[in-house]
Amino acid sequence: MAVGVFDSGLGGLTVLDAVTRRLPDVPFVYLGDNAHAPYGVRTHDDIFNLSCAAVERLWAEGCDLVILACNTASAAALKRMQETWVPQNKRVLGVFVPLIEALTERQWGDNSPPREVAVKHVALFATPATVASRAFQRELAYRAVGVDVEAQPCGGVVDAIEQGDEILAEALVRSHVEALKRRMPMPEAAILGCTHYPLMAEAFQEALGAEVKVYSQANLVAESLADYLIRRPEFLGEGTHSRFLTTGDPKTVSNKATQFLRRKIVFEAA
């Protein structure tokens, strides 16, 4: 009954933490592709191929349902995976859907025409690949009108997090927020469009100001997954044990994960 959670590195641990709290009886297998992180500067074909390889590894662990807890993979590879590659008896889901549902206050299955929503000025902080894909803006436009989205590619933040350099990561966050606010001085809401970024949520909130509502994906994804499994319990796979897997060096990744989540995490080689 295991569910897979995949990310290019450590960021998806924010999602794993939330889904584990929400679904304590479900075993989760986490796979971080730390050897190839960050994905945000890679080509779409590269991201697609790496994501497929990781998902296949999680299927081998008995996870028929895999969450791409990586916005870059969700933006650049998920649609192609679902349309051309995922077999009928498996499911791969991304992390955009719950976020857009929360922002527009409408369910994904609501196919009525786009309409006005409460928030008009949205700051999107994401990796260069996610920003370039315009996937967030495209999905939002199907459901909402009159929303101005200003996207800021946050080069270097994921690298700093993966290297365990919190001071550098915080400095980069401040720099990227300042760059965005020069173009959109008064955002009403901010999207942390990378699952690494909740690890820097306090830095984003401080730089943006208390009046800006910051949307972080982890809890939204957890609620959405719980609802999905009620409706589609057949996609709980055969796996029975929780595990942490990495394509990188297990000891190094374990130490960094423990540092950021502030609890002991032990990774094994994938």
Instruction: Please provide the DSSP assignment of 83-146 as one string.
Output: HHT--TT-EEE-SHHHHHHHHHTS-TT--SPPEE-S--EEEEEE-HHHHHHTHHHHHHHTTEES
Residue 93 is encoded by which pair of tokens? 């889901």
Residue 63 annotated among the catalytic residues of the structure? no
Residue tagged active-site, from 52, 63, 70, 154:
70
CA dist 38 and 167 (Å) reads 19
Q: What does DSSP assign to residue 250?
A: H
User: Which residues are paired to 68 by β-bridges?
Assistant: 6
- Active-site position among 52, 63, 154, 194: 194
- Provide the 8-state DSSP code for 11: T
Q: Answer yes or no: 194 catalytic.
A: yes
| Active-site annotation, residues | 70, 194
